[in-house]
Amino acid sequence: MMLARVADSLYWIGRYIERAEHISRLSNVMLTASLEQSEAAAEAAHMALAAVGDPDEHLAGRTPFEAVRAMVFDRDDLGSVVSSLARGRENARQVRDQITTETWERLNMLYLRIIDPQAEAEFDRGQSAFLHDVVADLHLFKGAADATMSHGEGWRFLLLGVYLERAQLIGRLLDVCFGEAAGGKPLQDHLAQMSLLRMACALEPYLRAYTADLQPRFILEFLLFDEDFPHSVRFAAAQIETHLLRLGRHAEAAAHAGPERLAGRLNARLAFADPKELTASGAGPLLRTVSDECARIHQGVYETFVAYPLEQRLPA
C-alpha cells in the first residue's frame, strides 16, 4: 500500500490542477461575456462568480476585469489560479520521485510562468489568450501524466482528485444555474446558456448531441447525466468509482463505509435517475445530494487512505 503522505499529495495535485483549470475557464468566459455590456452578460458574470463564491464579495466595487484579475493572481485567495498552482506544485515537489520528469516539468513551467513579474502585464495585454494558454498547459500536464506515468496507485490517486474536484465544481455550477442557488429563476437567455456550456467545456459536445437546440432542460440533462462527456457529473462519478474500486483492493476492510461504496451509490443515483423527475421536483435535491455525497467520499478517502489508525495497518 502506498504511503499515506504520498497518496495525499497525489490526490491534492489532481484537485488543485482541476480547480486551476476550472477557474481559468470561468474567468475567460466571464470576460468574453462582459464585452457585450448587456443584462445577459451581467447574468453570465454573476453565474461565474457565484460558482466560485459570493459574487458581491468578488466584485466589491470592482469591474469584471478586476474581479477576474484577482481570481487569477490574488495569492491571498486560496481559490485563485495562482494559489491552486502553487499548492499543486508544492505537493508535486514533495512526491517528485512518484511522478515523471515530463509531468513535473509541465507543472513547474506553468507555475513559473504565472508567478513571473511580467505575467500580470501579459494578462493585461490579452486576457483571453493568457487564460487560454493556462488551460492548454493544464491539459498538457494531464496528458503528460496519462502518457508517462505508470497507471498504478499514484496515477489513480491523482485522477481520483481530478474527478472528485470536477464533480463538485460542475455540481456547484449547475446549482447556481438550476438548483436552489438559482432561486427558481430559469436560465432562459441564449448568451447565458452559451456561457454555461463554455464554462463546463461543453459547447461543442452539446451541439453535436442536440444540434443548435439550446434548452435549459437539455443543458441540465447533458451536464448531469451524459455518460460519455468527460465533464458531466455522471462521467466523473463513474471515474471516481472505478479508481476507488482499484485502490480499495490495496486497503484492508474498515469499520466505516469504504469510499468505493459511497462512490458506487453516487454513480448509481446518476445512472438510474429519471430526467423527467427534474422537471417535476427541480434539480435542487439531486444537486444537493451530489454535493453531500462528494463530501462523504472525500472524507472516506481520508479515513481509508490517509488518516487511518496506525494499528489498522500493522500486522497482528
Cα four-point dihedral sign 264, 265, 270, 273: positive
To the nearest whole number, what is the mean pLDDT of the chain?
A: 89
Supply the Cα-derived Rg of the chain in whole angstroms: 20
Q: ∠ at Cα 157 (203, 166), nearest 5°?
A: 25
Q: Flag the least confident range among 133-142, 171-180, 197-206, 307-316.
A: 307-316
pLDDT band at 255 (very low <50, low <70, confident <90, very high): very low
Q: What is the pLDDT of residue 224?
A: 96
Q: What is the dihedral of CA 19, 21, 23, 25, to 10 degrees?
A: -150
How far is 218 from 223, CA to CA, in rounded Å? 9
Distance of CA 223 to the CA centre of its chain: 13
Non-local (6+) Cβ contacts of 31 within 8 A are 64, 65, 68, 127, 128, 131
Q: Using alpha carbons, select from 185, 152, 134, 106 the residue that is nearest to residue 25.
A: 134
How far is 283 from 16, CA to CA, in rounded Å? 27
pLDDT greater at residue 47 or residue 110: 110
Q: Flag the least confident range among 11-15, 70-74, 213-217, 231-235.
A: 213-217
Kindly tell me if the per-residue pLDDT of 188 is higher than 90.
no
Locus of grid cell 463546463: 200
133 in Cβ contact with 110 (< 8 Å): no
CB atoms within 10 A of CB 292: 11
CA distances from 285 to 240, 259, 290 (A): 21, 22, 9
**Percentage, residues of the chain above pLDDT 90:** 66
Per the rule left: phi > 0, alpha: psi between -120 and 50, beta: everything else, 61 is left
Kindly tell me if the per-residue pLDDT of 184 is higher than 60.
no
Kindly tell me if the per-residue pLDDT of 181 is higher than 80.
no
Q: What is the pLDDT of residue 308?
A: 60
| Domain spans, the chain | 4-312
158 in Cβ contact with 18 (< 8 Å): no
Where are the alpha helices (H) located in 35-126, listed in sequence order? 39-50, 55-59, 64-73, 81-94, 101-115, 119-125
CA distances from 128 to 28, 170, 205 (A): 6, 21, 21
165 in Cβ contact with 19 (< 8 Å): yes
Q: What is the pLDDT of residue 253?
A: 45
Q: What is the pLDDT of residue 315?
A: 40
Three cell numbers at 259? 469510499
pLDDT band at 141 (very low <50, low <70, confident <90, very high): very high
48-54: average pLDDT: 82
Q: What is the dihedral of CA 86, 91, 97, 102, to 10 degrees?
A: -40
Kindly tell me if the per-residue pLDDT of 177 is higher than 70.
yes
